[in-house]
Amino acid sequence: MKRPKRPTIRDVAEKAGVSIATVSKYVNGQQSFSPAVEEKLREAIEDLGYSQNSLARAMVTGRTTAIGLAVMDLANPHYSNVVKGANRVALANGYNLFVVDMEESIAAVRPLLEALAPRTDGLIVSARIPKDVTDWLAELDKPVAFLGQPERDDVLTVGTDSVQVAALLAQYLVRQGFKRFGYMGYSRAPSNADRIQGLRQILEPAGVELLIFDVDEPTNEAGERAAARVLLRPDRPDVIIGWNDLVAIGMMNEARSLGFKVPFDVAFAGIDNIPISRYVTPPLTTVDVCSQATGEVVMKKIIAMIEEKPQPTDLTLEPALIIRESTQLHFT
């Protein structure tokens, strides 16, 4: 395979008969030029098909006009939406967004970030990552933000409050009259504990039972596989909350193929409000965690940090209950 070696600024300079500094200024539009020179440059660039090597440019300026986003799992629509939100804001502000998928593997994140860091002006990381990586990030000369449950004050974290999210859902479900709660959590996620705390906070005072289960992966399939464990118990819950919408949808599907009537025999609720939740049967009750807004906010903040502008006033993200038929026993 031939590699034609793309033209450099030097080639353009030579062809146009000027210095490389002139070419640089021309392509960056930093000065006015005599018509003669301008024409020659235009032509040389056109002929050679020259385009800037942004790597070299980044080396000397220290700016890349790119931002990196490391996300847990792109196949999860929640994250896709975060990415969409972030991407739009980035593009609107003249930045490019590079996304990497860490495949739910916290361990492998460090090399990914090491590769991403020098290529970007700022980093967004969508997980609570190990301390050594956080430390390394802190020593970087770049703004960094995290996605998820805000917890520490010294790092910027954008997301909804997991305790609040869970409590919101529990509150509504208690009011609906459910008596035996099941929670199919994902214990490998750090915020799982917060979710449980939020549930207990409401359920204990109300004197309502909570059974806790665990799924090995936050996916449809895993929810489906895990559902039988909880559905076939003698003390089967009358409502089951999934770690996220995907898990809830998987469980709901399995419940129906086991012959349960949803929501009458058993009700389901999820968390995230992914787009598809409206389209399953019955439509899934869930909590909107502002996926897209999360992406937008975090991107706005990181751009403000990069450009050393004042931080946008703290846009808080309020989770919102989305009530659909998967938890409604009587149609009003």
Applying the rule CB under 8 A, the residues between 96 and 115 that interact with its own copies are 96-101, 103, 108, 111-112, 114-115
How far apart, in whole angstroms, are the C-alpha atoms of residue 292 and residue 285? 19
Instruction: Let me know: does 105 contact 72? Beta carbons within 8 Å.
Output: no
In whole angstroms, the minimum distance from the beta carbon of 148 to its own copies comes to 19
Rg (CA), the chain: 26
**Near its own copies by CB under 8 A, which window of 34-42, 54-62, 146-154, 294-302?**
54-62
Instruction: Let me know: does 255 contact 282? Beta carbons within 8 Å.
Output: no
Letters for 11-30 (x = contact with DNA by CB under 7 A, - = none) are: ------xxxxxx-xx-xx-x
Preceding amide of 282 cis, omega within 30: yes
Preceding amide of 190 cis, omega within 30: no
What are the backbone dihedrals phi and psi of residue 262, each rounded to the nearest 5 degrees, phi first?
-100, 130
User: Is 88 near its own copies (CB under 8 A)?
Assistant: yes
Instruction: Let me know: does 20 contact 10? Beta carbons within 8 Å.
Output: yes
| Cβ nearer to its own copies, comparing 100 with 210 | 100
| Residue 106 interaction partner, one of its own copies, DNA, none, beta carbon < 5-8 Å per kind | none
| Cβ nearer to DNA, comparing 114 with 221 | 114
| Residue 22 interaction partner, one of its own copies, DNA, none, beta carbon < 5-8 Å per kind | DNA
| Cβ nearer to its own copies, comparing 50 with 181 | 50
Residues in the interface with its own copies (CB under 8 A) total 60
Counting every residue, how long is the chain?
Answer: 332
How far apart, in whole angstroms, are the C-alpha atoms of residue 113 and residue 162? 26
| Cβ nearer to its own copies, comparing 211 with 304 | 304
User: Is 83 near its own copies (CB under 8 A)?
Assistant: yes
How far apart, in whole angstroms, are the C-alpha atoms of residue 249 and residue 251? 5
| Residue 10 interaction partner, one of DNA, its own copies, none, beta carbon < 5-8 Å per kind | DNA
How far apart, in whole angstroms, are the C-alpha atoms of residue 53 and residue 81? 31
How far apart, in whole angstroms, are the C-alpha atoms of residue 187 and residue 100? 24
Both tokens of 81, joined, read 């939406």
How far apart, in whole angstroms, are the C-alpha atoms of residue 173 and residue 327? 8
How far apart, in whole angstroms, are the C-alpha atoms of residue 163 and residue 148? 12
Interface residue with its own copies, options 8, 14, 27, 65 (CB under 8 A): 65
How far apart, in whole angstroms, are the C-alpha atoms of residue 131 and residue 247? 29
Interface residue with its own copies, options 11, 12, 80, 191 (CB under 8 A): 80
| Cβ nearer to its own copies, comparing 199 with 226 | 226
| Cβ nearer to DNA, comparing 7 with 198 | 7
Interface residue with DNA, options 42, 43, 59, 138 (CB under 7 A): 59
Which residues contribute to the site for DNA (CB under 7 A)?
5, 8-10, 17-22, 24-25, 27-28, 30-34, 36-38, 50, 52-53, 56-57, 59-61
Which residues contribute to the site for its own copies (CB under 8 A)?
1, 3-6, 49, 51-56, 58-59, 65-66, 74-75, 77, 80-81, 83-84, 87-88, 91, 96-101, 103, 108, 111-112, 114-116, 118-119, 135-136, 139-143, 220, 249-250, 253, 275-276, 278-281, 305, 308
